[in-house]
Amino acid sequence: MSTIGWVIYNGNLPSSKFVDFARMLQEAAHRQNGELHIYKNNDLLSFLVSNEFKILKNTPESLPDYVIFIDKDIYLARQLESLGIPVFNSSRAIEISDDKILTYQELVKEEIPIPSTIIAPKIFSTGTIEKNMLTQVIEQLGLPLVIKEAFGSFGEQVYLVHSEAELREKVEQLQGKPFLFQSFLKSSFGRDLRLQVVGNHVVAAMKRTSEQDFRANVTSGGKMENYSPTTEEKVLAIRAAKAIGADFAGVDILFGPDDSRYVCEVNSNAHIRNLFDCTGINAADYIVRHILRQIK
Ligand SMILES: Nc1ncnc2c1ncn2[C@@H]1O[C@H](COP(=O)(O)OP(=O)(O)O)[C@@H](O)[C@H]1O
Ligand SMILES: [Mg+2]
C-alpha cells in the first residue's frame, strides 16, 4: 500500500507563496512515487467531543499517513498529532519557531550563540513604562539596538532604534505585544546567511545583502547569492534546528565581530522558492525524502 501524505498551508493569506511551497512539496513527492494531497488549514476543522479528537472536512478521503505542515496553525497541527499522525514539523517546533522569544530561550538552553537579548516584561496595554527599564536595556545592549516583536516575518517586525527617545517611542507603540531587545551586530549590517537544514544536513545556503537596510531579508530589498557555508556555520545551523526540534528549517545566521557567527532565527516554515531560484537546489526533494525515511 502506498503512503499518502497531506501538505497543509495557510488558506487565508493572499500571497501565492504559500500554495507555491505546497506545490513544490507535492511535485517532490511525485518524483519519489509518493502521493501528497494539498489542504488549506481552514478546510479542516478540529472537532473535540468529550473523549475524542476529530477532523471535519468536506472530502471523503481518510486521514493521511503523515502531514507536512507549512502553516502556523499550531492547534490544528496538535489535533492531527493527537490523532496519532506524524506531523512535520511538529506542532511544538512550529510553536517555538513562530515565537522569537521562545526560540532564543531554546537556543540558549543548548548553548548556541545568539546576540545578547532582553525579553520585554509583559505589560498590558494600560501599563506604564519604567524609565529604569529603558536605562538598563541601553546599559546592557548599547545603542543602536534592535527591537523584535516575538511574532513577525520578512523583517517587517524588526526595528533598529538609535536613541533613548526612539526606544521609548517604540516600546510605547508595542504595548500589549510580546517583544524583545537585542544587541545590534553592526558587522552584520545588511548581510546575513540563510542555511536550509533538512535532518542532519545543510542542503543549500545563500548569502543575503542589502545596500539600503540593516535587514538582509529579500522582502526588505536583500539580494541573494549562492553560498558555500563553512563547517562551523553548518554545524551551528544544524544544532539550531535541532534545538527547536525542527526536521527542516531555514536558519538565519549573523556575522559577529572577528568572524564569529550568531544564530538570528530558525524558520520552521521557511519558503524554499527563493533558495531554489538562487542555488538551483530544490529543498523539497530533501524534505520529502527525509520525512518518508522517518515514517518508515
Ligand atoms: N541583532 C541583530 N543585529 C544585526 N542585524 C540583525 C539582528 N537581528 C536581525 N537582524 C537583521 O534583520 C533581519 C530580520 O531579522 P529576523 O530576526 O530574521 O526576523 P524575520 O523573522 O522578520 O526575518 C535579519 O535577517 C538580519 O539581516
Ligand atoms: Mg529572518
Give the pLDDT confidence of 135-187 residue by residue, as tens digits.
Answer: 999 999 999 999 999 999 999 999 999 999 999 999 999 999 999 999 999 99
Quote the percentage of the chain above a pLDDT of 90. Answer: 90
The confidence band for 124, taking pLDDT boundaries of 50, 70 and 90, is: low
Residue 197 contacts residue 163 (beta carbons within 8 Å): no
Q: Which helix (H) or strand (E) holds 131?
A: helix 131-141
| pLDDT for the residue 282 | 98
Query: Ligand 1 atom closest to Cα of 156?
Result: 22
- Which residues surround ligand 1 with Cβ inside 6 Å? 115, 146, 148, 152-155, 157-158, 182, 184-185, 188, 192, 214-217, 252, 254, 264-265
10 Å CB burial of residue 283 (0-12, 13-18, 19+) is buried
For 250-288, write each residue's pLDDT tens digit: 999 999 999 999 999 999 999 999 999 999 999 999 999
Q: Report the alpha-carbon distance of residue 266 to residue 241 in Å, rounded.
A: 6
Strands 179-183 and 117-119: antiparallel
Q: Which residue has the cell 531560484?
A: 277
- Ligand 1 geometric centre to CA of 217 (Å): 8
Residue written as cell 516583536? 149
Question: Across the chain, what does the average pLDDT equal?
Answer: 95
Query: Is pLDDT at 220 greater than 80 in this prediction?
Result: no
User: Does the structure show a pLDDT above 70 at 1?
Assistant: no
Q: How far is CA 112 from the centre of its chain?
A: 16
Q: Which atom of ligand 1 is nearest to the CA of 115?
A: 1
Place of cell 538598563: 136
Q: Is the pLDDT of residue 59 over 80?
A: yes
Statement: residue 191 has pLDDT above 70: yes
258 CB-contact burial (10 Å; exposed 0-12 / middle 13-18 / buried 19+): exposed
Q: What domains, with CATH codes, occur in the chain?
A: 4-89 (3.40.50.20), 95-113+187-282 (3.30.470.20), 117-184 (3.30.1490.20)
State the distance from the centre of ligand 1 to the C-alpha of 196, rounded, in angstroms: 16
Which cell is 156 given?
517587517
Which cell is 296 given?
518508515
